[in-house]
């Protein structure tokens, strides 16, 4: 579920098991322009490991990880 | 009231038939618009590639699948005007609506990845599947790379299924020892669903399928026969099987209703589009965080039909989509797996792949036409 504002794509992937929050994030990063922020919301525990690992491997920047009530917000900047 | 449904695939056909069953003629006109007039059972395409099915058995006339009361319009929607509540068709016709259902599916855009058309095989259209069948038959040995051009794509487990089917195919041909099957996954694991991943990894190990994770394709070098990822790895291939890039429906993009991938922003529970409550989004063309598959559109269609009936009768719309998906995967060697989940409940891992789920898949392949588009199940 994407809400595109001027420089930020917010992806609500809460409750997503297949294809899952990481795939939503990768899709968002592909759509984003260099320097833009992609934020993905996940209620899947696996994301805590998956998302930072992928962001590092793909050379992007993990700006913040914010715990909310029942889900986590991962804020990523497209860096390459 | 006029209800216009765009798309005669799984979702659109079920909505039209359920409405025709439940609404009296005086309550609503039900109009379904389809570009080709043919409805395809897309899960069958992979069987075309492996020589088990002929493409012509996988389509039916949309008209034959629809109840009589549904008016079928053959044409291509080229613009949606949400303010004037009109849909413009390519031939100049204009359809007015009170409620619109957009069920147009995903669009394959191979042109978005340079080299794809020249170098890559796939099984996402009947023509491509037939071409892949010839390439597989001619292949005498070397490396087959199985991967996806980008996410999202239809039927997340399909590439893993194809890799298992390749193992079975070349084992039967007696040249499996000459064929190296490499599976490149865009995710942190080989299978999209975490709870099922350990099982699929065991199957890959048994089938000697080599896997690489975090491989999101950046480019294809058609001369050097290599594929490179945005994560910086390069893998050589002799035969490349790659799911093509996907986007949302063209009319959604052209009407300014899509997000940057062309997907239609849709509420994940009510299935109404976020910008317009009188337009519903259904299936692969939406940005819903579930599998792009008939196995999801099937359940969404019932919610959309319920909501439309409530709207027309002036009742509060209480129908909610809970994220339900039920599907079968075929891993070759007469082994299958059945998967079901929703937004709140991840799929439960089965102990092993089994004959029962494999039979379930093959039963569905045949019974689909009688059970699914009609809205019976």
Helix crossing, A47-57 with A21-31: angle to 10°?
Answer: 30
> From the CA of B138, how many Å to the nearest CA of chain A?
33
B216 vs A26: CB contact, 8 Å cut-off?
A: yes
> Is the separation of the CB atoms in B212 and B145 below 8 Å?
no
Domain hosting residue A40, numbered range: 2-77
Give which of B325, B281, B243, B247 is closest to A18, Cα–Cα.
B325
| Local structure of A65: helix, strand or coil | strand
Give residue-wise pLDDT tens across range B331-341: 888 899 889 99
CA A26 to CA A10: how far, in whole Å? Answer: 12
At CB < 8 Å, which residues of chain A contact B?
1-4, 9, 11-24, 26-27, 30-32, 44, 46, 49-50, 53-54, 57-59, 80
Asked if the ipTM is above 0.90, the reply is no
Closest residue of chain A to B192, computed from CA coordinates:
A19
How far the first Cα of chain B sits from its last, in Å, is: 27
The percent of residues in chain B predicted with pLDDT above 90, rounded, is 84
CATH of domain B2-106+248-318: 3.50.50.60
Partner-chain contact B268 A27, CB within 8 Å: no
Determine the pLDDT at residue B169: 97
Confidence label for A65 from pLDDT (cuts 50, 70 and 90): very high
Radius of gyration of chain B (CA): 21
* Lowest mean pLDDT segment, chosen from A1-10, A67-76, B90-99, B221-230: A1-10
Which chain A residues contact residue B150 at CB under 8 A? 27, 30
| Per-residue buried b or exposed e for B39-63, using 16+ beta carbons within 10 Å of the residue's own CB | bbbbbbbbbbbbeebebeebbbebb
Residue A36's nearest CA partner among A66, A11, A18 is: A11
**pLDDT value, residue A2:** 56
* Residues in A touching B151 (Cβ below 8 Å): 19, 23, 26-27, 30
Mean pLDDT of chain A: 88
Interface of B with A in 142-161 (CB under 8 A): 150-152, 156-157
CATH architecture designation of domain B114-245: 3-Layer(bba) Sandwich (3.50)
Are B2-106+248-318 and B114-245 equal in CATH topology? yes
CA distance B320 to B269: 5
Is residue A18 part of the annotated active site? The answer reads yes
CA dihedral sign, ordered B39, B244, B213, B135: positive
| DSSP state string for B42-81 | GGGHHHHHTTSS-GGGGEEEHHHHS-TTSEEEES-EEEEE
* Nearest Cα to Cα of residue B180 among B140, B122, B217, B149: B140
Q: How many domains does chain A have?
A: 1
pLDDT digits (tens, 9 = 90+) for B133-154: 999 999 999 999 999 999 899 9
- Given A2, A9, A13, A18, the catalytic residue: A18
- Name the residue ranges covered by the structural domains of chain B: 2-106+248-318, 114-245
At residue B99 the predicted structure's pLDDT band, cuts being 50, 70 and 90, is very high
Q: What is the CATH number of the domain that holds A29?
A: 3.30.110.40
Spatial distance between the Cα atoms of B272 and B262, rounded to a whole number of angstroms: 17
pLDDT bracket for residue B230 (50, 70, 90): confident
pLDDT tens per residue across span B188-219: 889 988 888 999 999 999 999 999 999 999 99
- Rounded to the nearest angstrom, the minimum Cα separation between B188 and chain A is 6
The reported pLDDT for the residue numbered B137 is 98
Q: What pTM did the predictor assign?
A: 0.92
- What the block records as the tokens of B300 is 């969404």
Q: Please give the average per-residue pLDDT across A9-16, as a whole number.
A: 88
């Amino acid at each position: 579920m994407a809400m595109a504002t001027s420089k930020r794509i917010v992806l609500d992937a809460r409750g997503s098991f297949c294809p899952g929050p990481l795939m939503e994030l990768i899709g968002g990063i592909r759509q984003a322009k260099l320097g833009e922020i992609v934020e993905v919301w996940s209620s899947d525990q696996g994301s805590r490991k998956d998302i930072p690992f992928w962001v590092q491997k793909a050379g992007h920047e993990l700006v913040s990880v914010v715990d909310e009530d029942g889900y986590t917000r991962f804020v990523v900047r497209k860096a390459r | 009231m006029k209800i216009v449904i765009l798309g005669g695939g799984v979702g659109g056909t079920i909505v039209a038939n359920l409405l025709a069953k439940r609404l009296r003629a005086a309550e609503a006109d039900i109009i379904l618009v389809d570009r080709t007039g043919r409805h395809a059972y897309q899960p069958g395409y992979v069987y075309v590639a492996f020589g088990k099915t002929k493409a012509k058995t996988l389509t039916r006339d949309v008209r034959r699948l629809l109840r009589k009361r549904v008016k079928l319009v053959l044409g291509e929607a080229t613009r949606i005007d949400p303010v004037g509540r009109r849909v413009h068709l390519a031939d100049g016709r204009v359809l007015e609506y009170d409620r619109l259902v957009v069920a147009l599916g995903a669009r394959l855009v191979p042109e978005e990845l340079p080299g794809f058309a020249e170098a890559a095989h796939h099984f996402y259209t009947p023509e491509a599947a037939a071409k892949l069948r010839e390439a597989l038959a001619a292949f005498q040995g070397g490396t087959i790379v199985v991967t996806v051009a980008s996410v999202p794509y239809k039927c997340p487990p399909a590439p893993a299924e194809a890799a298992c089917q390749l193992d079975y195919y070349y084992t039967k041909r007696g040249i499996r020892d000459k064929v190296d099957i490499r599976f490149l996954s865009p995710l942190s694991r080989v299978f999209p669903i975490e709870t099922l991943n350990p099982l699929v990894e065991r199957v890959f190990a048994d089938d000697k399928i080599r896997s690489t994770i975090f491989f999101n394709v950046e480019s294809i070098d058609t001369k050097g026969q290599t594929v490179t990822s945005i994560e910086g790895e390069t893998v050589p291939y002799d035969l490349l099987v790659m799911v093509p890039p996907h986007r949302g429906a063209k009319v959604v993009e052209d009407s300014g209703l899509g997000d940057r991938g062309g997907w239609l922003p849709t509420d994940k529970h009510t299935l109404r589009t976020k910008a317009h409550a009188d337009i519903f989004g259904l299936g692969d063309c939406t940005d819903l965080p579930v599998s792009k598959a008939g196995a999801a559109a099937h359940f969404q269609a019932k919610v959309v039909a319920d909501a439309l009936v409530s709207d027309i009768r002036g009742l509060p719309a209480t129908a909610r989509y809970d994220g339900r998906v039920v599907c079968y995967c075929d891993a070759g060697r007469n082994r299958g797996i059945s998967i079901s989940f929703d937004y709140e409940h991840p799929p439960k891992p089965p102990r092993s792949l089994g004959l029962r789920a494999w039979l379930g898949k093959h039963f569905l392949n045949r019974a689909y036409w009688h059970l699914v588009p009609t809205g019976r199940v």
